[in-house]
Every structure is written in C-alpha cells, then in structure tokens.
Amino acid sequence: MISLAGRDIMHAWGKFVFTGLGLGLLIGVTLSMAGIYRGMVDDARALLDNSGADLWVVQKDTLGPYAEPSSIYDDVWRSIRGIQGVIRTANVTYLTMQVRQGERDVRAMITGITAGDPGTPGWPPYLIAGRHITRSHYEAVVDIATGFRIGDRFQIRRNHYTVVGLTRRMVSSSGDPIIFIPLKDARDAQFLKDNDAILQQHRRTTETLAFKPAGVLDAVLASQNANSYVNALLVQVEPGYRIEETAETIRRWKRLTVHTRTQMEEILVGKLIATSAKQIGMFLVILSIVSSAIVAFIIYTLTLGKIREIAVLKLIGTRNRTIAGMIMQQAIALGSIGFVVGKISATLLMAPIFPKYVLLEPLDSIRGFIVVIVICVLSSIFAIRAALKVDPAEAIGG
Amino acid sequence: MSNKGIHIEMLQKRYGSGDTAVDALKRIDMQVDPGEVIGLIGPSGSGKSTLLKCLGAVIEPTAGRMTLGGQVIYDNGWKVNDLRALRRDRIGFIFQAPYLIPFLDVTDNVALLPMLAGQSNSEARAKARDLLKALDVDHRARAMPSHLSGGEQQRVAIARGLVNRPPVILADEPTAPLDSERALAVIRILNDMADKFETAIIVVTHDEKIIPTFKRIYHIRDGVTHEEAGEGRGFR
C-alpha cells in the first residue's frame, strides 16, 4: 500500500515545508527556553564546582554566601583549619556589581580570593590565557565573557586593576561572569566607605565626649577603619573523611552555619533560581499549548481542503483507519519537520546570540521530540474527527 | 431473469418518520444485465440521487431487495455486513467531475483500489496500466491529474471505476462537463468496457446528447421507475 500521507506531502511540499518552518521557529524558542533553564542550573553547578570547596562556612542561620548576605570574621579559618579532616580553608568574598569595560558596563561578580596557589579554594581552577594573580593588589583574572583581554585595565570603586589572566565558564548563579581579585581589594570594594564618609565619621567620633579619655579615641578610630569580615570560608575536606561529619563538627563547635555541596546545590537550584525556573516552566507550557493549537489548526485546515477527496476515498471503500492514519502521519511529518527546523534554529541561531548561557542537552532534545510528536498526534484528532464525519455520499452529486 | 448484473425489486427509501416522513423512493424496480449500459433519467427531486446512493451502498433502503452480481445486498431490512468492502470490491463509481486524488499520479489513482483491497503495489499497478492502455491514456501514466485534459481525467476515472472488475458501475452524470464530441466518446468507452468486462453500467444523466445512445432507459418520477426502450443508437 502506498503512503497517502507521503504522497500528499510530496504533492504540496511547499505548504508543508513553510508551515514546518514556522512551527520549527516556535519549537526552536521552546527548546531554547528549556536550554536557558538548563543553562541556569549549569551556571549554578559551575559556581560550586569552580569554587573547589567541600563545605561553605557562613554566618549562622543564613543561606549565604550566594543566596543571602553573610558575614563572618576573617580569622574563623584558624580554628576551623585545626578541626580533624579539614585540609584547606580559604576566605572568600562575593560582590555583584557593574564594571566599566570600554564603552559599556559589564555586570560581574567580584570574587575576592586569598593568597595561595592554584587549587586553593575559590581560585579559578584553570586559565585559558595569562597567569594567576601573584601580587596582593590590583591584579585580576577574569572570565572571558566580560570582554576583557590580557593587559586591559578597569576600575572597581577607586582602584584600578590589570587583567593578568583569562578563564572560561566562571559565572555566578545568575550567569554573570566572575572577576577574581585579591581578597583584601575585594573586601575594600565591599565594605570600605568612600573618603567623604570616612572623614565625616572621623569628625563625629572625634567630637564624641565619651571617647575623650586618652587612647580610647585612637582605638575607636582604628576599629572603624579596619575591616575584619569576609562572606564565607571555603573548606576542603581531606579524602577519607566524611564531609557531613566534618560539617557537623564545625556547626557544633563554631556556631556557624555550614553547607555541604548537596545543600548548596539545593539552595542554588531549588531556591535561588526556583522562580526563574517556574517562569520558564510556564513559558514552556504556554508555548506547548500555542504549538498544539497551531498544529491542530494547520492539520484541520489541510484536512478540510481535502474533504471531497476524503469523501471519494470513503466511497471507493477506503477504511477509516487508513484515512485517520493519513492525517496522523501528516501531523507527525509536520511535527518532525518543525522539530528539525527548531533544533537547528535553537542550536545555530538562538543559543549563540542569547545573552544567557543556553545549554541544549541531547536528552532534552529527545524529550522535546517525543512531546512534539505527542502534541501532533493529539492535535490531529480534531482533523481526524472531521474527516471521519465526512459522508461518502458527498462524492455523489445531488 | 438474470441473477447477474444488478437486480432491484420494490426498493423504497423513506426519510424521517410520522408526519414529517418523506418517501424519496416509493417503488424502484430495475434490472441491468452484465455488459449492458442503461440510462437513468428524471427531473430534479425525482429521487435519482437517493437511488444512486442506495445502489452505491452509501445509504440503506427502507424496504425492498437488491442483488448485485448474484449477491443479495439488501432484503427488506437485512443488509450485507460490510458495505465499505462491497463498495470497494463490487461497485465502480464514475462521478460528474473525475474527482481524481490530486496527490497521486494517474497510475496510482487507478491502482489505489486494488491496493486497498490488499493486492501488492506491483500487481495493482500492472492492472492499472492494462486498463489505462485499454482506455488509451497509458501515455499519461506518470502524469499528475492536474496535468490532464478533461477528457483524459474522465478516462482515468473510468479506469478507476473498472479496475476491480466490479459487476456494476454507477456513473453519475459522467458527461456533464464535456462537449458533445467528448461526451459521446465517454459513452463509447463505457459501452466498450461494459462489453469487454461484462459489467452492468447505470448512467445517471440529464445530457440530451447521450440519451439517444441507450438501448434501455429508466425514467424516475416521484420515486417510481418506469422502464422505456431507448433509441439505442449505441455503439455496438
């Protein structure tokens, strides 16, 4: 038996191809939306992976340092380093801000890293050009997505930094590229007041009678200008030690909150990007409904255009299932054309130009294809119902 | 009385019931023998189309008996089980317009029926090619219907009606869109095919040009058939 659907498609291929193109662009947008969600999750995981930490020690009862503000004393590491199983610790600060890059602003996450060597928690795990930070001030390693190149200079607050190294896929959970600078510079950027504010505070403090006794004023002024906070302490646990047990020890003795990698992933994926994920989910549902409506309308219209032929087919003895099969096969063919166009457009057109990282996973494509086919099959039901209602007598005049 | 061809006794068709009932067919008696081409004529509203639909197993009569090629199709409320298969295997249709399937080429338009009946593609296409040759349109075997002339399309439609060698062919105003010359050519073909394949052919028509070609004519008036001898200026 010849394929009636195939012959009809070949006969009106232009109609099918152009309809498939339109549907494909819609499917491309849908796949891109799924890719954006995957990208957000991947960004969150990249942030955790690249930090090189097994544990995040943060301010008590906070979800810091990424999902909530967190401040802990910068000398906490000394006591935690002594806990059994802890092999490495490193203070870290995070601050998201706009950085001027040439004529444009780049939103970046400024990460303050402690002095050390590659492999120190918080450090970029690899570079694609240049070198790591070797000086204690005014050097930076940046993600290539910032647009900076080796040797470029940029300003954060009142200090200028020189780009000495480039890295890739170092992003915050929001997808903002990371700029690594020395910890002290980063703390200044985050906590240090500007000169006017310092002068005004100095004047007020000096005029306060309570600080007049000898030595008190100097001590107060010194404490006001000193900054002894970081956002979190990254901890590496020695292989062979159970991470959860080490975390529990720190919680018990230091009265700080400690997040493991699993808990941190839950915070980032389950809480930080949950609203965005829901929005994308809603878009996916809406796009699926729109796609269904379009496929249903197209197949229904194509079927109505063949009512006379269907009546003739029924009159000459064609089974209903043959006619239903023809319509369903056409719907599936349309969906397949649409999916191929959508996959190509999402991969080659949409993902590269999208401002956020779009991760198109093969498994999502397979799921997407199955969903498209199911939608096409369901959408063809209206057309099949219309075709099966056609009276073969319509082929006979009168 | 021959038990081949098509034989109809006291066929009735009523639409609706009670006060609103309409008797579209009141008493239809008809006998068409194998190889015979008869005309069925009548004014609008006389019941021609209803009769054609009953003969074509598209609607069921209310009462009466009909046999087709010796097989009882209807018998006072009883009907054969699978009317769809009956239409496919034992009735050929030729319509006012050819109604060829636009997305199939000429050969496959004709071969579709045997394919639907379960024959292999090659077998069905061989049958189709034989018929197209007999109807002198084999040179257009690979053409799409939209590339054929009106006369060629009608010959392909005749080939489609004949391809399963049905005992009866119902032709619904097959010459309506054609000029005199082509209309007579179509009737000539139908006569030749009826002869060749021993098929009974019923031609429903208003066409004055072809009415004189029938040896027998059934007039239908107010749902009742009346047999008349035609002029018989046929082609045999």
pLDDT tens per residue across all 398 residues of chain A: 889 999 999 988 888 889 889 989 999 998 998 899 898 888 888 889 888 999 999 999 999 798 899 999 999 999 999 999 999 999 999 999 999 888 889 999 999 999 888 889 999 999 999 999 999 899 999 999 999 999 999 999 888 999 999 999 899 888 899 999 999 999 888 877 778 888 888 888 888 877 777 777 778 777 777 778 899 999 999 999 999 999 999 988 878 999 999 999 999 888 888 888 888 889 888 988 888 888 888 888 888 888 888 998 998 888 899 999 999 999 999 999 999 999 999 999 988 888 888 898 899 899 999 998 998 898 889 899 999 999 888 877 65
Per-window interface: B 9-38 vs A, CB < 8 A = none
Q: Is B198 left (phi over 0), alpha (psi -120 to 50) or beta?
A: left
Are A88 and A120 within 8 A, CB to CB?
yes
**Pick from B28, B31, B25: nearest CA to B6:** B31
Segments making up each domain of chain A, as ranges: 4-43+275-395, 60-192+227-255, 195-224
Are B207 and B30 within 8 A, CB to CB?
no
B56 vs A7, A319, A396: nearest CB: A396
B206 at interface of A, judged by CB pairs closer than 8 A: no
B80 at interface of A, judged by CB pairs closer than 8 A: no
| Relative orientation angle of helices A362-389 and A13-51, to the nearest 10 degrees | 150
| Chain A residues near residue B144 by CB distance under 8 angstroms | 11
| Chain B residues near residue A319 by CB distance under 8 angstroms | 84, 116
* B101: phi then psi, degrees, rounded to nearest 5: -75, 115
B95 vs A1, A322, A395: nearest CB: A395
Identify the structural domains of chain B with CATH numbers, from first to last: 33-58+81-229 (3.40.50.300)
Test B89 with A398 for CB contact under 8 angstroms. Answer: no
Beta-carbon count within 10 A of A370 CB: 11
Q: State the ipTM, two decimals.
A: 0.83
- What's the pTM? 0.76
Q: Which residue of B has its CA nearest to A3?
A: B104
| Relative orientation angle of helices B150-162 and B180-197, to the nearest 10 degrees | 20
Interface mutation target, options A306, A309, A315, A323, chain B, most CBs of B under 10 Å: A315
Test A315 with B87 for CB contact under 8 angstroms. Answer: yes
Q: How far apart are the first and last CA of chain A?
A: 32
| Chain A residues near residue B59 by CB distance under 8 angstroms | 393
CA distance A305 to chain B (A): 12
Beta-carbon count within 10 A of B78 CB: 9
Strand, helix or coil at A165?
strand
Test A396 with B88 for CB contact under 8 angstroms. Answer: no
